[in-house]
Structure 1
Amino acid sequence: MRPPRSGRPSRRSRGSSPAGREGAAAAGTCWLFGTHAVAAALANPNRVFQRLMVTEPEHPALLAAREAGAVIRIEPEIVQRVRLDDLLGAEAVHQGVAALVKALPNLTLEEALERPGPVLVLDQVTDPRNVGAILRSAAAFGAACLVVQDRNAPEETAVLAKAASGALETVPMVREVNLSRAIEALQKGGCWTVGLDAGGGLLDGPSFKGRRVALVLGAEGKGLRRLTRESCDEIAGLYMPGEMESLNVSVAAAVGLYELARERMPSTYQPPATKKPT
């Protein structure tokens, strides 16, 4: 569904460099911070570390990574919390851990489609917090990948990684120059492309039984662009009986993915044991 207008994020929110001079990241690198984001990066064999800073030798990020079977490939620097505050900026919720890493290699669309599950396509969604939240939902519902238009999507940043809560390491972001051509490639690759927007039918997961779906979502405030909309196989919206006419794009992505997951849910499914919220 068309999300409410939230405005274009500032250049600062899209950038990858924290506030401090020491924290300025070179091109092709970025700082990650927060327990979940750093622990997931440590557990990702494709992630290259340049620095790792923690406020205690047995930081929860290190423990979580080891629990996941990761080998810590870099010697952590033990620093005071104020050092991370200065490095990352006063607003960063770093939880006592930060890592300077190289950007992940970009998979091709063909490589990403070898992974199982539905596909998410973002049409000029620029807010890194929204993209991070969408990655988190994609990981939760078993999506294969997230396809974005390269020049109109945020780079890997600490803000995006923190919002993704580790999903940046497990759900590949595929960057394409031309989104309409990417949608065409998805169709040729066996995906039924559904634009999530007003003006069509209702999204009904079980109706796609036997089909692999690529869910296409539009930018904050604008919805799908005309050419993107026309490239989709169909347009569908979410059932919303309440008074609100639209949802934030990250919330719409989560609801849409859940709807698609209903078709794949086995009759014997049991929810996992309750965990503390993160």
Structure 2
Amino acid sequence: PTRAKQLEKIKRRFDVPEGHEILCGRNAVAEAAYASVPITRVFMAVSAQSDERLGAVVRRAALLGAPVLETTRLDLDALTDSAAHQGVAIEVPAYEYTTARDLLERARALGRTPLLVALDQVTDPHNLGAVLRSAGAFGADGVIIPERRSVGVNATVWKVSAGAAARVRVARETNLVRALEQLKKEGCFVVGLDGSGSTAVEDLTLADSPLVLVTGAEGAGLSRLVRETCDVLVSVPISRSVESLNAAVATGISLYEVDRLRRR
């Protein structure tokens, strides 16, 4: 048989469930282990003794009761679609999303003033990972994403979030505008981040209220219907020589500001 057919046959043998992801490469799997990523199986074609990073992965798997399978490099070629796996890969289960309402109720049950982040059509996994990291750092109660035209929580997001994906819950909603309107009915103010917003984020008078901070897509910004749903549009003041901020950076700065205003 051709190599492609051979790899296809091997891959079928491992029977990776739909929605599960294969993460490979020594640094990537070690970072996943340190970041408390849920691991279902570990595949190794090398010895863990030779590398502390692999030792960390094996220890994490043991803690989770996940099997560590000895494989060949050909097995790994098949599992990773011939990526540069360096002799190791892990299987990560499909992410279990919650709902926006659940995020709100959980925050209130903990006696907190809710602070949620909503991402409007953000498609870059690095941005979602970085937003989760900022949300974890500045006490946000969760991140809301739409089902369509948006990145979901995948292996890259886990990695970039540096462990925050294990702590900050992500809600996925069919219709973001409807979810935002529902949150408004529940007493939240919806604050849109927009370069042309008339209020600077550090002057936000609503900081002590239950808030949903909405960030738009890379380049396009907030979509029209989402923008119209916002109670107020705020901007992050930046140097005139720069056109706009990356979605994740703008979100991080705004979360820092809200956190600072709430501590005053």
Give the TM-score taking structure 2 as reference length.
0.76
Aligned to 1:186: 183
Aligned to 1:13: none
Q: Which among 208, 211, 221 is matched to residue 210 of structure 1?
A: 208
AA aligned to 1:160 is V
Aligned to 1:106: 97
Offset of 1:123 from its aligned partner? Answer: 0.7
Gaps of 5+ in 2: 1-6
AA aligned to 1:133 is A
Does 2:219 align with 1:227? no
Q: Deviations over 1:166-223 (max 9, x none)?
A: 2222222211111111111222233221100033211126633421221101111111
When residues 32 and 140 of structure 1 are mapped into structure 2, their CA distance, relative to the original with a 3 A threshold, is: farther
Does 2:154 align with 1:135? no
Contact 2:92 2:155 in 1 (8 A): no
AA aligned to 2:31 is H
Q: Which among 43, 46, 63 is matched to residue 53 of structure 1?
A: 43
Contact 2:207 2:258 in 1 (8 A): no
Offset of 1:159 from its aligned partner? Answer: 2.2
When residues 247 and 174 of structure 1 are mapped into structure 2, their CA distance, relative to the original with a 3 A threshold, is: same
Contact 1:38 1:61 in 2 (8 A): no
| Counterpart Cα distance in 1 of 2:58 and 2:71 | 19
Q: Which among 233, 236, 239 is matched to residue 241 of structure 1?
A: 239
Give the TM-score taking structure 1 as reference length.
0.72
Q: Which has the larger radius of gyration?
A: 2
SS at match of 1:151: coil
Greater Cα shift, 100-109 or 28-37: 28-37
Aligned to 1:72: 64
Contact 1:30 1:156 in 2 (8 A): no
SS at match of 1:215: strand
The count of corresponding residues between Structure 1 and Structure 2 is: 239
Identity %: 36
| Counterpart Cα distance in 1 of 2:118 and 2:179 | 9
| Counterpart Cα distance in 1 of 2:65 and 2:250 | 38
RMSD value, Cα: 3.2
Q: Which among 32, 38, 45 is matched to residue 33 of structure 2?
A: 38
When residues 256 and 90 of structure 1 are mapped into structure 2, their CA distance, relative to the original with a 3 A threshold, is: farther
Q: Which among 88, 96, 107 is matched to residue 80 of structure 2?
A: 88
SS at match of 1:120: strand
| Counterpart Cα distance in 2 of 1:91 and 1:130 | 23
AA aligned to 2:232 is E
When residues 205 and 172 of structure 1 are mapped into structure 2, their CA distance, relative to the original with a 3 A threshold, is: farther
Greater Cα shift, 252-261 or 22-31: 22-31
Aligned to 1:147: 144
Offset of 1:41 from its aligned partner? Answer: 3.7
SS at match of 1:186: helix
Contact 2:43 2:90 in 1 (8 A): yes
